[in-house]
Amino acid sequence: MKYKRILLKLSGESLMGKQNYGVDPHQLAIYAEEIKNAVQNGVQVAVVIGGGNIFRGLQGTAQGMDRVQGDYMGMLSTIINSMALQGALQAIQVKSKLLGGLSIEPIVEKMGSAQAIDYLEEGNVVIISGGTGNPYFTTDTASALRGIEIKADAMLKGTRVDGIYTADPEKYPDAKKYESITYDEAYEKQLKIMDLTAFTLCKENDLPIYVFDMNKKGNLLKVLQGENIGTLVYNK
């Protein structure tokens, strides 16, 4: 395997499947099977899921809500999604632990890097919810932070697009895909891979980002085996 320990970042919207809101049990089951395959091949997997399928803090702010309150509501949305994934993993006999930037007894244990690493080494999938536990930070930033904390080999950003392109391939069919790109090049080209705080955290802590299509069956394992199916962002 190319990667032995990963931080898998999933968007909340990806859990909607073909629905317009909430969690699609079928899509959730697909992701759980992908993660199970990774674990069965000896990879330690931590997961961070966004909450955009339920509530976005910035969405609330745009509607006149206090930003801090809206961000905490967004964090709670990530906890709901994380609990749903944990349930899907349990249904297929995959051990998991649910940690979070916010602790909610008896559901979510407070995130600690040493404890998370111990759980990973014991063979658990570690699901880390609740963002960073602080307002004004996105789940992208939480993913970068958690990836660094658990000493991941890479952050794998599962999307519905098979990598990073010169422009949005859904809007511009002639957009070209990058097989790899450095952090500096991505910044100079203003490619919107993650928010700038998350991007900078990964760059400064030398955490590679691999962007790939998570919705295609078997792709997660292919990335872990080193197949070039997405785009790698790295330091020179």
What CATH code is carried by the domain that includes residue 202?
A: 3.40.1160.10
- Segment 133-154, tens digit of pLDDT: 999 999 999 999 999 999 999 9
Domain of residue 106: give its range.
Answer: 5-234
- Segment 11-52, tens digit of pLDDT: 999 999 889 899 999 999 999 999 999 999 999 999 999 999
Question: Per DSSP, which regions of 29-124 are E strands?
Answer: 44-49, 96-100, 109-110
DSSP-derived secondary structure letter, 21: S
| Cα separation, 31 vs 211, whole angstroms | 16
Quote the mean pLDDT of the chain: 95
Residue 59 has pLDDT above 80, yes or no: no
Confidence at residue 64, expressed as pLDDT on a 0 to 100 scale: 85
DSSP-derived secondary structure letter, 161: S
Which residues touch 235 (CB under 8 Å, ≥6 apart)?
182, 183, 203, 206, 208
- Cα 25–Cα 26–Cα 27 angle in degrees, nearest 5: 95
- How many domains does the chain divide into? 1
Confidence at residue 38, expressed as pLDDT on a 0 to 100 scale: 98
Confidence at residue 61, expressed as pLDDT on a 0 to 100 scale: 75
Confidence at residue 236, expressed as pLDDT on a 0 to 100 scale: 85
Read off the pTM.
Answer: 0.95
Residue 60 has pLDDT above 80, yes or no: no
**Is-contact 154 146, C-beta < 8 A?**
no
Overall residue count recorded for the chain in this entry: 236
